[in-house]
Chains A and B, each alone.
Chain A
Amino acid sequence: MRCIALVLGMLVMAPGSLLGQSLFNAAGLGSPSEPLDARTRALGGVGIGLQGSALLGSDPAAAAFYTLPAGFLTAQPSWVEFERSDRAEEGTFQGTRFPALGIAYPTVHSLVATLAFESFLDQRFESSDPSTITLDGNPVNVDDSFVSRGGISQLRLGLARRLGRRVAVGVSAARYTGSLTRRAQRIFHEGVDTTSVGAFQSGGFWSYSGASVTTGGSVFLGNVAHLAGSLTWSGALDATATDDTDGASRSYDIPVQLRLGATAVLAPGLSVSAGLARADWSSVDDDLRSGASAGVVSSYGFGVELSRASILGRSAPLRLGYRKTDLPFGLKGGTPTETVWAGGLGLNLSQVGELVRAGVEVALERGERSDSALSEKFWRSTLTVRVAGF
């Protein structure tokens, strides 16, 4: 009952929609909003291959190491400075995502069941273009704007199991969910009687559906190395327009995604990790009405963890990492790239032996996203709250 109450409490606290953190959200189907926890972010991870238990959609086998019921919630505020390559515009924005929340529950026969709600693609952005038009021979100031609000999420149900002491496997099925509102608007200003002339609006609402399956496994090589891999197959992502939406419903082919990761223990309390992910988004090209995908995109990252560090007598692992990620969609062709230097720590607030019953993990990233049209420099913080054994 406590478990259920905890999860319900987290759901109440978490906003339902994703909030934008990049102008690259305007490209193609948006920019990835990977549901990674703070530990993975701090280690420059791609979502697989870290030692210990984790509830990650990209690493279904990692849940096999939960021995107690556990739940977590991740929040991710960002502060972004952007500049167009033509230097015609620069500015700042900030936003907070809640990329993942979920629970893991050990059941019979060493099976661990998982349920998670994860972000996938962020499509939130706004644009505005003030201009002057001519009506009846008279100049009229208008402000054209476009608002895209929403994104694609996944509701994931998984099972993981250890096979002996060295091997773990996992599988999860996810249903795409989320929605998107796109609205164009023209507001009239000087030049007409603004008390009588209204605003023009046109737009629509789409809801997302579809399914994907992720399977993965991991193996320990003695006590010094841990290897993991996963494969995600996705069915079509369907965007269904409401009856009163003029725009059409559409369907997109989401590519297979492959991930590999590894961790090596260099010394007691000191480990390094690395990961690699790859997906070919060119399959979406035929489905896109505008813009184009970046084709084959890959991500890699590596990090180092000092797990024996402590603060005020409590275990507080320190982490450093680097990651480079290609974004699947660009604004004007080409492949946008995100590079990040990251650092972070964990704080185990309640621990019994090796079991962490309550902990907070924080990651802070300094990075840059850019392509030929736009450059964004950002600070991104990730905060994950974990509880277990309730």
Chain B
Amino acid sequence: MHHVTRTKMAMLLGLTALGSVACAEISPTSVDPEFLPDKPTSVMVSLSWEEFGSNLEVYGGFGDVYELREGMLARSFGGVLDARTLVRFYTLSTSATVTDSTGTSVTDTLLSLRGGRIVAFMDTVASVASGPVTLELGSLRQPWHGPSASWSMAVDTVGGQVPWIQPGAGPVERIATAVWDPAQGDSVVFFLDTTAVKLFRDTTEVSRGVLLGMLTPGARLKVNDVGLRATVHASLADSLLELTSAWEALTFLYTPEPGAAGNEVRVGGVPAWRTTLDLAVPAILTGPPALCAAVGCPVELTAARLIYAALVLSSQGMDAAFRPSDSLGVDVRAVHDPSALPKSPLGSALIGGYGKMIAPDLFSAGEGTDVEIPITNFVRAILHAETVDGFPPPYSLAILTALEPSSLAFASFAGPGTPKAPRLKLLVTTSPSVELP
């Protein structure tokens, strides 16, 4: 028994020692190129539209202005664009909790309206204004339907269509004007008298609503938010209170509609455009000369050799009216049933998040700039003849904004048949097969 115990202790000691020495491995590693059997070769391959693309189509009509939940103001922007913003507020509260002369909190239902104001908050980045801009605020004279209102129609639903008395939500009864100076901040205030405030808080008034317009030509402003603030006097306490009301409906009207898409890749706008195209990726590469010189041609293009693939689009200069004034997030999705376009279901976003962010100046001073939209896994699936989930790969792509719709502005890229037609960029890396010594 004594020996058995010693044996066990010896084993335990030995195994503990072995375990301790087995730690802290650092592999034999050298930076001597002699230890590398064969270095890989990487070549960037650019396929022309004719070599990879076909069936480019631009489809419009996805989403509507109301989904943006923002306003837009413009007057002769770019010489053509007019835009007005419509707002309907929730009703203001008719009571408030106040502290009376004895220090007790009580509910005061006899509030006396003394005035009010409407505050609009601008997007200072997306707005285009070279200086102070004069804005007008008016009341609407006819019922309107936020989700379907347009420049010409106050209501445009299946159940009924009612045009504006005058296109553009007119005629408008002006209530106030104000000047917004981009250099002074992001908000502009319209002061209201009690009559105007009562009009906007009256829920029995079916036409109640505020119209924001622009008097200064040549600017385009994006309105992020609008709020109603009323000043009231409490009957149970000698104090002034401010009641606030958020918007219930916020939309905008604009004219003219952008022209139909030409020979271009058009993405964005509201209602939004999408562009679809079919891809055919060659299984064998016979060029370019740089590739052939490096590894010899023909080269089998396999999923393993494809390190990066991107659709290269060349930005086009655009009329100012619908030119992006803020970064536009573009994404791509697989088209699962091309025969059902434009209603085909789409796959998940290949880029994700806010998509590939494209700077607005690429459509003005920076026109002709190449924009790469990574589609590596999409092309790999084509080369592999199946997706990572084992399904047949899609061969059609839809290019669209990551958030759709995202803005009034849209992006335009050169289409097929132009010198800057879309290209497919492939980073191909090959090496001789790894062999045994």
Give the interface of A toward B (CB within 8 A).
Answer: 6, 9-10, 13-15, 19-23, 25-26, 28-29, 73, 75, 77, 80, 82, 84, 88-89, 91-96, 98, 124-130, 133, 135-136, 140, 142, 144-146, 180, 182-184, 186, 188, 192-193, 196-204, 206, 239, 246-248, 250, 288-291, 331-332, 349-350, 352, 357-360, 373, 381, 383, 385, 387, 389-390
- Provide the residues of chain B in CB contact with A349, threshold 8 Å: 6-7, 9-10, 13
Do B434 and A387 have beta carbons less than 8 Å apart? no
Give A2 to B112 CA distance when docked, in angstroms: 97
B26–A146 CB distance below 8 A: no
Selected contact of B14 from candidates A192, A247, A385, CB within 8 Å: A385
Residue B340 interfacial (CB < 8 Å): no
CA distance A182 to B3 in the complex (A): 48
Interface residue B416 (Cβ < 8 Å from any Cβ of A): no
Enumerate chain B residues within 8 angstroms of A95, measured Cβ to Cβ.
Answer: 25-28
Kindly identify, within residues 1 to 49 of chain B, every residue whose CB is under 8 Å from any CB belonging to chain A.
3, 6-7, 9-11, 13-15, 17-19, 21-40, 42-44
CA distance A92 to B42 in the complex (A): 32
Q: Please tell me which one of the listed residues A89, A289, A387 contacts residue B436 in the complex, with CB atoms under 8 A apart.
A: A289
Q: Tell me whether A246 and B433 are in contact in the complex, defined as CB-CB below 8 angstroms, given that A200-B307, A383-B17 are known contacts.
A: yes
**Is A385 touching B18 in the complex (CB atoms < 8 A)?**
yes
How near does chain A come to B197, taking the closest CB pair, in angstroms? Answer: 52
By a CB distance below 8 angstroms, the chain A residues around B29 are: 91, 93, 125-128
Residues in A whose Cβ lies below 8 Å from that of B194: none
Given A126-B28, A146-B35, do A198 and B21 touch, yes or no (CB 8 Å)?
no
- Provide the bound-state CA to CA distance between A289 and B434, in Å: 11
Inter-chain contacts of A373 with B (CB < 8 A)? 34
Docked-complex contact A196 and B376, CB < 8 angstroms? yes
Contact of A199 with B14 at beta-carbon distance under 8 Å, contacts A23-B28, A96-B25, A127-B32 already known: no
| Known pairs A95-B25, A135-B42; A128 contacts B436 (CB<8 A) | no
Contacts A13-B19, A93-B29, A127-B29 given; does A199 touch B437 at CB 8 Å: no
Interface contact B11-A192, CB-CB below 8 Å: no
Within 8 Å by CB of A385, from B15, B31, B376, lies B15
Q: With CB as the reference atom, state the residue of chain B lying closest to A348.
A: B10
A-side contacts of B268, CB under 8 Å: none
Smallest CB separation, A258 vs chain B (Å): 25
Q: List the B side residues contacting A248 at CB < 8 Å.
A: 435-436
- A182 and B436 contact, CB distance less than 8 A: yes
In the assembly, what is the distance between CA of A23 and CA of B435, in Å?
19
A383 to B10, CA, bound (A): 13
Known interface pairs A13-B18, A186-B429, A385-B14; A20-B39 also in contact (CB < 8 Å): no
Q: What class of interface size applies to chain B in its complex with A?
A: 35 or more
A390 to B433, CA, bound (A): 51
Q: Chain B's nearest CB lies how many Å from the CB of A92? A: 7
Question: Interface residues of B: mostly helix, strand, loop or mixed?
Answer: mixed
Q: Which residue of B lies closest to A71 (CB)?
A: B11
Is A127 within 8 A of B433, CB to CB? no
B431 beta carbon closer than 8 Å to chain A: yes
Which residues of chain B come closer than 8 Å to A15, judged between CB atoms?
22
Given contacts A13-B19, A19-B27, A184-B40, 6 further A-B contacts (CB under 8 A): A73-B14, A184-B434, A200-B431, A202-B434, A349-B6, A387-B7
For chains A and B in complex, what number of residue pairs have CB atoms within 8 angstroms? 215
Question: Chain A contact residues: over half helix, strand or loop, or mixed?
Answer: strand
Residues A202 and B39 in contact, CB atoms below 8 Å apart: no
Q: Which residue of B lies closest to A26 (CB)?
A: B35
Do A350 and B11 touch (CB < 8 A)? no
Q: Would you mind naming 10 contact pairs between A and B with Cβ atoms under 8 Å apart?
A: A26-B30, A28-B437, A93-B27, A96-B22, A126-B28, A127-B29, A128-B29, A135-B42, A182-B436, A385-B17
Within 8 Å by CB of B21, from A84, A96, A133, lies A96
A144–B374 Cα distance when bound, in Å, is 23
Does B125 touch A at the CB level, under 8 Å?
A: no
* Docked complex Cα distance between A27 and B334 (Å): 49
The 3 closest A-B pairs by CB, nearest first: A385-B14, A127-B35, A358-B10
A290 and B6 in contact (CB under 8 A), knowing A88-B32, A200-B305? no
On whether the beta carbons of A125 and B28 are closer than 8 Å, the reply is yes
Residues of B within 8 A of A (CB): 3, 6-7, 9-11, 13-15, 17-19, 21-40, 42-44, 304-305, 307-308, 310, 372, 374, 376, 427, 429, 431, 433-437
Q: Are B40 and A360 in contact (CB under 8 A)?
A: no
Determine the chain A residues whose CB is within 8 A of the CB of B37 once the complex forms.
146, 182, 184, 290
- Write out the residue numbers on chain A whose beta carbons fall within 8 Å of the beta carbon of B40: 144, 184, 186, 200, 202
Residue of A nearest to B33 (CB): A129
Contact A359-B10, Cβ < 8 Å, known A88-B32, A350-B3: yes
CA distance A352 to B3 in the complex (A): 9
Whether the Cβ atoms of B26 and A94 lie closer than 8 Å is yes
* Inter-chain contacts of A289 with B (CB < 8 A): 435-437
Q: In the complex, which residues of chain A have a beta carbon less than 8 angstroms from the beta carbon of B25?
A: 19, 94-96
| B35 touching A125, Cβ below 8 Å | yes
What distance in Å separates the Cβ of B288 from its nearest Cβ neighbour in chain A? 11
Of A135, A385, A390, the contact of B44 (CB 8 Å cutoff): A135
Q: Which of A6, A10, A75, A89 contacts B32 (CB 8 A)?
A: A89
The minimal Cβ–Cβ distance linking A356 to chain B, given in whole angstroms, is 10
Partner of A146, one of B23, B36, B308: B36
* Nearest CB on B from A35, distance (A): 15
Q: How far is the CB of A178 from chain B (nearest CB, A)?
A: 13
Instruction: For A291, give its contact among B26, B307, B437 (CB under 8 Å).
Output: B437
User: Do B28 and A20 have beta carbons less than 8 Å apart?
Assistant: yes
Q: A249: shortest Cβ distance to chain B, in Å?
A: 8
Name which residue of chain A comes closest to B2, CB basis: A350
User: How far does the Cβ of B57 sit from chain A's closest Cβ, in whole Å?
Assistant: 26
Cα A387 to Cα B42 with chains together (Å): 57
Residues of the B chain whose Cβ atoms lie less than 8 Å from the Cβ of A75:
17-18, 21-22
How far, in whole Å, are A140 and B41 apart by their CA atoms in the complex?
13
Within the complex, the shortest CB–CB distance from A61 to chain B, in Å, comes to: 26
Q: Which of A77, A129, A198 contacts B308 (CB 8 A)?
A: A198
Given contacts A89-B30, A91-B29, A357-B6, contact A200 B429 (CB under 8 A): yes
Closest residue of B by beta carbon distance from A30: B437
Q: What residues on B are CB-neighbors of A14 within 8 Å? A: 18
A332 cross-chain contacts in B, Cβ below 8 A: 34
Residues of A within 8 Å of B27, CB to CB, are 19-20, 93, 95, 124-126
Q: Are A29 and B437 also in contact (CB < 8 A) when A135-B44, A349-B9 are? A: yes
Query: Cβ of B305: which chain A residues have Cβ within 8 Å of it?
Result: 200
A246 and B434 contact, CB distance less than 8 A: yes
Q: Bound complex: CA of A291 vs CA of B37, how far in Å?
A: 11
A18 CB, nearest partner CB in chain B, Å: 11
Determine the distance from Cα of A128 to Cα of B37 in the docked complex, in whole angstroms.
11
Q: Are A135 and B427 in contact (CB under 8 A)?
A: yes
